[in-house]
Structure 1
Amino acid sequence: MLTYKVKAKYITKEYDLLKRKSDKIKSLFTFTRKKIPSFWALKGISFEVNDGETVGIIGINGSGKSTLSNLISGIIPPTSGSLDIHGDTSIISIGAGLKGPLTGIENIQLKCLMSGMSNSKIKEVTPDIIEFADLGDFINQPVKSYSSGMKSRLGFAVAVHQNPDILIIDEALAVGDDTFYQKCVNKMMEFKEQGKTIFFVSHSLGQVEKLCDKTIWMHYGELKMFGKTKEVITEYKNFTQWFKQQSKEEQSKYQRKMKNKQKEFTLQKLKDDIIKKKENENKLLTRSEVREIQNETQKTPIGDKMKRGTKIMLLMASVLLVCLSIISFNDNAVSSIINNPVEFIRKQFTDLRKNSTPPKERSSKMDSSTNISSLNSSTEIISESTSMSSDTLESYMVQPGDTLESIANQYNISIDELKYENLLSDNNIEAGQELKIPTSSEQ
């Protein structure tokens, strides 16, 4: 029978250090990750938490506290390692999962629906959530108008009334007032008496010491210490006191050193360190144990980037799309290509052969065709000028009642010719107006 509620074994979490949003899309199609810089927020964390335990998570900013809480809650997957969780989880963070445009009531309904509650159950617990949050008339206002403390109230109220097996509180009590803080503490103690497991992330060592049985000290992606709360907090205070005594230059140097270790970390190094540690403990590893360590230090598919097979399929789809675009621009119907693929391929080879004609030969052909076309155009110009020279212009004085149509019929010409010779934009003419009439010399 399992006695633990949460068991983590060599879990890691890797993030890409991308400068632009477009780099994220590009990284999906790369077949190698050598050129993509990464940062390891967690570097092989292992721990075990039992039923009914309240565990604090402490550490300086950027140590991996929130990453660990998000992994436990299931918001993000680990890059490698195994995380065994027995029971439903619910995370409480400032504004976590709250939609700004929606009102407090609407957010209660949405979050409860997302947790799997039925409509009847939501209707039953909504009054209790409203009473616990104690937001007054603001419960009917959009959450985007809430302060951070009000968001924390609403988030905590919804989470605890979902009755989870594992409750994760990430800095949610840091912004509340004393009255609401005491209400939250009472609720946590009630959960603890019911045998529920609680993870409490906080910078307030006093709160951690008061509420937690055990404490995890996270330090630049590593689990620095895990044990009884008083012992861990004592060691953590010793470290912070030592750090504050250093000069600013030494502090910066230490921080750069630890962050560089997070960038240079590899799963192969983790595997080697695990094997070396076990060998130092005078344990002779069997093949099955080595194979297990190998599996635990490999990237899980869900935590990795796009698979190679998926990238190949996307590449083939892109090539097909380009081919269809070329077919469309060349006025070729897809149906005709499917019905007669041999003819289409023959035509493509013919066009390719034409395009692959040697430059000199193609130039001579172009010159000859240009000369012929020039000769034809010259002949057309000469004939046109000859025909134009055979036409003469007469003058005509517009009489009352005349129209362009009647004048054109009289001289057996078109209305467009009349308008062209007289630069008319419409059919309107006036009596006494002089018009030029084109007449053929043969008439």
Structure 2
Amino acid sequence: MAETTDLFPPQTPAVVIDRASMTYTVNSDEKRPSPGNVLGRVMRKIAGKESTVQIEALKELSLVAYHGEAIGVIGLNGSGKSTLMNLICGKIQPTGGAVYASSTPIMLGVSAALVPDLSGAHNVILGCLAMGLTRAQIEDRHEAIMELAGLGSSINLPMRSYSSGMSSRLRFAIAAAIDPEILIIDEALNTGDDEFRGRTKQRMDQLREQAGCVFLVSHSLKTIQDLCTRVIWIDKGDLLFDGDTETALGWYRKYTKELAGGDRFAAAKIRRRMQNTLETVSVEPLQPGRRKSVGA
């Protein structure tokens, strides 16, 4: 692992999650009689008389992420990965427990500030301005952003003409331009050629060397393997594994293989094994003067 700067001694927490959980209350027709009566269901919805159910998107979870780490987050669709990332960056507040960060986490997702009808080059300026960079800072980092995105002459075309992979490259290049202390990348690097992955790894290594902490959510296990120093595996809202990348990916591949083959008994056995071997984390406070409740 790359050494951290003098600003953050080794094993200095960047994110502390203390028994955080997230439960949503949603409307449901499940317990209502006469399921075929569409008009009745519509009228109940209008009158606000629908039944509600509790959904545990994320069960009680504790972990500590340190400066200088690149943490991969894996799990099947609907497992709670994005919920965890939204808790870390402060987009939502946990219904239980707390989340702390040493600085405001930046999520790779400047899409709200980007305009599809404008060129990629113009969107670089918009995205950087949205993240708080000055004109002088944008000008100073413009060449590095363009090089990392690697879009060539396409940078002058409207973003609506970009493929999903090209858009992901540009968003990553913009987000990584501000040297964030805590960067969250959610499902944005699943596409791209070997050259782009190489540039991405180089940039993430630079962030880690500067004592940055990176969370990467991806279904691409190759991307996780190449870029991450640690892996968190979440399944059905439960934390199943937190540790070595190779070990995590090995068990995850076995788990998904059993599910794909229809052997849910074998998959459940792996799941229990992961839960039984998961070590209890010791949640430590951030450095004095740097403790901050995310989203508060």
Query: Which category of TM-score, normalised to the shorter sequence, fits these structures?
Result: 0.7 to 0.9
Cross-structure match for 2:258:
242
**Which of residues 169, 182, 185 is equivalent to 1:153?**
169
Cross-structure match for 2:60:
44
**Which of residues 54, 63, 80 is equivalent to 1:64?**
80
Cross-structure match for 2:15:
6
Q: Is the 8 A contact 1:54 1:212 kept in 2?
A: yes
In structure 1, stretches of 5+ residues that fail to align are 259-277, 279-299, 304-443
- Secondary structure of 1:13's match? strand
Alignment of 1:225-264 (within 5 A): 225-246=241-262
Which protein has greater RCO, CA pairs closer than 8 Å, 6+ apart?
2
Cross-structure match for 1:294:
none
Cross-structure match for 2:139:
123
Q: Is the 8 A contact 2:80 2:235 kept in 1?
A: yes
Residue-by-residue CA offset, 1:185-224 (whole Å, 9 max, x unaligned): 1111122222211112122223323322221110011111
CA gap of 1:106–1:38, structure 2 versus 1, over 3 A, is farther
Q: Is the 8 A contact 1:108 1:158 kept in 2?
A: yes
Cross-structure match for 1:329:
none
Cross-structure match for 1:336:
none
Q: Is the 8 A contact 2:148 2:200 kept in 1?
A: no
4+ runs deviating over 4 angstroms: 18-27, 93-97
Q: Which moved more, 1:174-183 or 1:98-107?
A: 98-107
Task: For 1:79 and 1:8, locate their aligned partners in 2 and report how far apart those are by CA, in whole Å.
Answer: 13
**Percent sequence identity over aligned pairs:** 37
Cross-structure match for 1:138:
154
Task: For 1:22 and 1:97, locate their aligned partners in 2 and report how far apart those are by CA, in whole Å.
Answer: 38
1:139 CA drift (Å) = 2.4
Q: Return the letter of the residue paired with 1:217.
A: W
- Whether 2:98 is the aligned partner of 1:98: answer no
**Which of residues 26, 29, 38 is equivalent to 1:17?**
26
Task: For 1:170 and 1:244, locate their aligned partners in 2 and report how far apart those are by CA, in whole Å.
Answer: 24
Q: Is the 8 A contact 1:94 1:151 kept in 2?
A: no
Q: Is the 8 A contact 1:7 1:48 kept in 2?
A: yes
Q: Return the letter of the residue paired with 1:11.
A: A
Task: For 2:126 and 2:42, locate their aligned partners in 1 and report how far apart those are by CA, in whole Å.
Answer: 30
Residue-by-residue CA offset, 1:139-180 (whole Å, 9 max, x unaligned): 233322211011011101101111100122222221112211
Q: Return the letter of the residue paired with 2:22.
A: K
- Whether 2:216 is the aligned partner of 1:200: answer yes
**Which of residues 188, 197, 215 is equivalent to 1:181?**
197
1:244 CA drift (Å) = 3.1
In structure 2, stretches of 5+ residues that fail to align are 1-8, 29-40, 272-279, 281-292
**Which of residues 127, 149, 152 is equivalent to 1:111?**
127
Task: For 1:177 and 1:155, locate their aligned partners in 2 and report how far apart those are by CA, in whole Å.
Answer: 16
Q: Is the 8 A contact 1:132 1:157 kept in 2?
A: yes
Task: For 1:67 and 1:45, locate their aligned partners in 2 and report how far apart those are by CA, in whole Å.
Answer: 12
Cross-structure match for 1:167:
183
CA gap of 1:26–1:55, structure 2 versus 1, over 3 A, is farther
Q: Is the 8 A contact 1:17 1:38 kept in 2?
A: yes
CA gap of 1:62–1:23, structure 2 versus 1, over 3 A, is farther
Q: Is the 8 A contact 1:93 1:152 kept in 2?
A: no
Task: For 1:24 and 1:108, locate their aligned partners in 2 and report how far apart those are by CA, in whole Å.
Answer: 43
Cross-structure match for 2:288:
none
Cross-structure match for 1:214:
230
Q: Return the letter of the residue paired with 2:69.
A: E
| Larger relative strand fraction | 2
Task: For 2:194 and 2:173, locate their aligned partners in 1 and report how far apart those are by CA, in whole Å.
Answer: 16
CA gap of 1:25–1:87, structure 2 versus 1, over 3 A, is farther
Q: Is the 8 A contact 2:110 2:175 kept in 1?
A: no
Q: Which moved more, 1:15-24 or 1:216-225?
A: 15-24
Q: Is the 8 A contact 1:94 1:152 kept in 2?
A: no
CA gap of 1:243–1:227, structure 2 versus 1, over 3 A, is same
Task: For 2:151 and 2:42, locate their aligned partners in 1 and report how far apart those are by CA, in whole Å.
Answer: 38
**Which of residues 85, 95, 110 is equivalent to 2:101?**
85
- Secondary structure of 1:37's match? strand
1:183 CA drift (Å) = 0.9
CA gap of 1:165–1:25, structure 2 versus 1, over 3 A, is farther
Q: Is the 8 A contact 2:76 2:235 kept in 1?
A: yes
Computing the radius of gyration from Cα coordinates, the structure with the larger value is 1
Superposed CA RMSD in Å reads 3.5
Task: For 2:60 and 2:143, locate their aligned partners in 1 and report how far apart those are by CA, in whole Å.
Answer: 43
Cross-structure match for 2:33:
none
Q: Is the 8 A contact 2:113 2:126 kept in 1?
A: no
CA gap of 1:35–1:166, structure 2 versus 1, over 3 A, is same
Q: Return the letter of the residue paired with 2:12.
A: T
Q: May I ask how many residue pairs the two structures share in their alignment?
A: 250
TM-score (norm 1): 0.50
Q: Is the 8 A contact 1:57 1:216 kept in 2?
A: yes
- Secondary structure of 2:85's match? helix
Q: Return the letter of the residue paired with 1:125.
A: R
Q: Return the letter of the residue paired with 2:101.
A: I
| Larger relative helix fraction | 1
Alignment of 1:273-352 (within 5 A): none
CA gap of 1:80–1:26, structure 2 versus 1, over 3 A, is farther
Q: Is the 8 A contact 1:95 1:151 kept in 2?
A: no
